[in-house]
């Protein structure tokens, strides 16, 4: 049931909680792996803040202190040593006094949850702090909704929306939870510290916060009076014991490179390198883009034949793209957001040794906005939903209760609906890529609409259930983007090409080549998902005359078999594929382990097979 946000609850009853959900991601390496989405999740529970008990004006002295007594300097320094800003301690002491150490500590923790800046202190009084709490969409209190308006314009409709910010925040949180667990703290302690201090807090601040919580627990367990809590907790536990705890934590952090971020060394012993993403994310060049084109010089080892093309999610954990680059001959990645080519965002990184000059887009050009793609929906689109692009198309979509709640709330609201309702509906529409199909009626994209946005032919995935179709499409290439990069092969191979396709999926690379008019004499396709193999085979039999050889697992493809295919076809002209991003995408809540993860480690098989092809071709 919705919680009554206007009901006053004493300060001591304020508690925070953290809920976590399993997240999955968007590159399928196995049909045995359970998928949900590339970054979609229901809102996690937020701290519940209520009207706090506060002293009335009669208890304040002329100098502003409760009962006329400023707090002792030692007390202020003790709280500052825990990680609370001095101004926050002074302000809190003025508001509720310092006689009740338990209440003062809880107020400080509350202010920490609200933020350490002056705005947080100034805009939330203890006499009336009514913040919304979203426990579950089923019980949303619309009248108190004040979520971020993340779909106000074109920029917010891309992957840079508030929802993507949420995903990045979740991935940062995972990293810090893992670091704190490595230091010996429990996951509950780590979650609570992050809830109190914020995701952006330094690791050392989070350690201090956990220490502060332990101070409170120890003092409460001893049933000490308020003055005893103040004196003994700071002098004894808050002094020597806290110092020992911090020192032990520092020693543990040294094992992982030290520093505030607590980062771990990479597997080769070197420090992880960051690779900032460009803004705008347009790669080396895009059709119609007026910015400067990028030129590059390839290392000698990277030059074709064969040409190769590798893809994965742009926003991977720190150090991942630097490592991928090192393995793939130090070639600079080309980061592209597909919203510059179509009506849906899709941020991806590509490493390849293809020429970058004389590219050409597929014609006719795909629609670049929602209304261009679906003009018939425009008549139902409310003026306050200003999206022009969809977010990244996912492997799952909104449930019926989500769309039913939207329709019910809009039907019972005025025209236009209240701002609280608008914000909630815009958030859900952006999050789930909903379209307006009737009065007050928002609905998920149908599979054939996703096929259209991703550049696949109509009914490409038809014949399978919706769940499988969404899953297969959510894990696919955006065909127009890939075709733009591969377009240089058209003049280079007028008689057709042979392709080694790794992690083929539903054949996004093959469809791109076909749309470019490039004949595929032979394709050796490796794809573990049986449904995806059936989709590719069905399309191939309807459109192609070349040879299609199917293998179900990259790990089963050994050097001698690769050499036999090289001998049979006279080599491969193109090696293409995108290894699973299960352990790379920020949406994967518990298994974002980078290239060492169970599924994303298959990148090393891409590298192994590519090297084997190059070696076999060199020996021809």
Catalytic machinery residues: 581
How far apart, in Å, are the Cα atoms of 399 and each of 35, 461, 523, 559, 588? 15, 21, 38, 46, 20
Q: Which residue(s) pair with 441 in the sheet?
A: 438
- SS3 readout for 221-251: HCCCCHHHHHHHHHHHHHHHHHHHHHHHHHH
Give the count of beta carbons closer than 10 Å to the beta carbon of residue 530.
Answer: 10
SS3 19: coil
Q: What is the torsional sign of CA 134, 138, 141, 143?
A: positive
Give the count of beta carbons closer than 10 Å to the beta carbon of residue 86.
Answer: 11
Written as six digits, the tokens of 513 are 């080549």
Give the C-alpha separation, 174 to 188, whole Å.
13
Give the C-alpha separation, 618 to 332, whole Å.
24
Contact 39/585 with Cβ under 8 angstroms? yes
* CB proximity list for 580: less than 8 A, separation 6 or greater: 25, 27, 28, 29, 30, 503, 599, 600, 602
Radius of gyration of the chain (CA): 28
Give the C-alpha separation, 259 to 376, whole Å.
55
Q: DSSP letters of 97-157?
A: -SS-HHHHHHHHHHHHHH-SSHHHHHH--TT-------S-GGG--GGG-----TTSSTGGG
* CB proximity list for 147: less than 8 A, separation 6 or greater: 132, 134, 423, 424, 427
Contact 71/45 with Cβ under 8 angstroms? no
Cα diameter, the chain: 94
**Alpha helix (H) residue ranges in 7-85:** 73-81
Contact 104/92 with Cβ under 8 angstroms? yes
- In the block, residue with structure tokens 């887009």: 361
């Amino acid at each position: 049931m919705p919680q009554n946000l206007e009901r006053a609850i004493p300060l001591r009853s304020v508690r925070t909680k953290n809920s976590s959900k399993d997240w999955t991601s968007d590159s399928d390496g196995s049909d045995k792996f359970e998928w949900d989405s590339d970054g979609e999740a229901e809102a996690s529970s937020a701290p519940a803040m209520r009207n706090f008990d506060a002293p009335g004006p009669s208890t304040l002295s002329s100098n502003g202190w409760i009962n006329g007594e400023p707090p002792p300097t030692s007390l202020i320094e003790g709280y500052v040593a825990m990680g609370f800003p001095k101004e926050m301690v002074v302000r809190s002491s003025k508001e509720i006094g310092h006689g009740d150490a338990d209440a003062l500590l809880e107020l400080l923790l509350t202010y920490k949850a609200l933020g350490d800046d002056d705005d947080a202190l100034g805009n939330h009084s203890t006499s009336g702090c009514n913040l919304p709490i979203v426990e579950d969409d089923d019980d949303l209190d619309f009248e108190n909704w004040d979520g971020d308006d993340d779909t106000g314009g074109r920029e917010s409709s891309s992957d840079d929306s508030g929802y993507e910010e949420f995903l990045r925040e979740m991935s940062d949180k995972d990293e810090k939870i893992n670091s704190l667990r490595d230091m010996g703290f429990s996951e509950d302690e780590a979650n609570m510290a992050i809830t109190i201090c914020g995701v952006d807090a330094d690791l050392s601040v989070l350690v201090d916060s956990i220490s502060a919580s332990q101070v409170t627990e120890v003092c409460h367990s001893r049933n000490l009076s308020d003055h005893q809590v103040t004196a003994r907790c700071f002098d004894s536990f808050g002094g020597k014991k806290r110092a020992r705890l911090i020192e032990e934590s520092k020693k543990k952090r040294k094992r992982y490179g030290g520093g505030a971020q607590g980062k771990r060394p990479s597997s080769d012993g070197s420090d992880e390198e960051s690779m900032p993403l460009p803004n705008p994310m347009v790669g080396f060049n895009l059709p119609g883009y007026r910015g400067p084109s990028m030129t590059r010089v390839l290392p000698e080892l990277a030059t074709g034949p064969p040409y190769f093309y590798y893809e994965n999610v742009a926003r991977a954990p720190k150090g991942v793209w630097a490592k991928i680059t090192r393995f793939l001959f130090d070639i600079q990645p080309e980061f592209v957001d597909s919203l510059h080519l179509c009506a849906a965002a899709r941020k991806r990184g590509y490493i390849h040794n293809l020429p970058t000059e004389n590219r050409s887009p597929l014609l006719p050009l795909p629609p670049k906005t929602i209304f261009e793609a679906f003009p018939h929906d425009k008549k139902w689109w409310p003026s306050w939903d200003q999206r022009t692009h969809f977010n990244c198309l996912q492997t799952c979509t909104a449930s019926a209760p989500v769309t039913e709640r939207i329709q019910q709330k809009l039907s019972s609201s005025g025209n236009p609906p209240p701002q609280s309702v608008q914000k909630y509906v815009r958030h859900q529409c952006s999050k789930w890529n909903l379209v307006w199909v009737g009065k007050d009626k928002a609905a998920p994209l149908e599979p054939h609409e996703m096929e259209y946005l991703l550049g696949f032919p109509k009914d490409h995935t038809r014949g399978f259930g919706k769940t499988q179709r969404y899953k297969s499409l959510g894990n696919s290439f955006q065909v127009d983007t890939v075709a733009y990069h591969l377009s240089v092969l058209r003049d280079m191979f007028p008689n057709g090409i042979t392709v080694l396709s790794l992690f083929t999926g539903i054949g996004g690379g093959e469809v791109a080549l076909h749309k470019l008019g490039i004949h595929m004499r032979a394709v050796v396709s490796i794809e573990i998902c049986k449904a995806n193999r059936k989709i590719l085979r069905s399309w191939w039999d309807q459109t192609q005359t070349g040879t299609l050889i199917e293998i179900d697992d990259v790990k089963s493809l050994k050097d001698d078999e690769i050499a036999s295919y090289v001998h049979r076809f006279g080599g491969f002209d193109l090696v293409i594929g995108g290894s699973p991003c299960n352990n790379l995408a920020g949406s994967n809540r518990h298994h974002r382990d980078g290239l060492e993860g169970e599924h994303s480690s298959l990148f090393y098989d891409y590298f192994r097979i590519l090297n084997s092809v190059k070696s076999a071709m060199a020996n021809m």
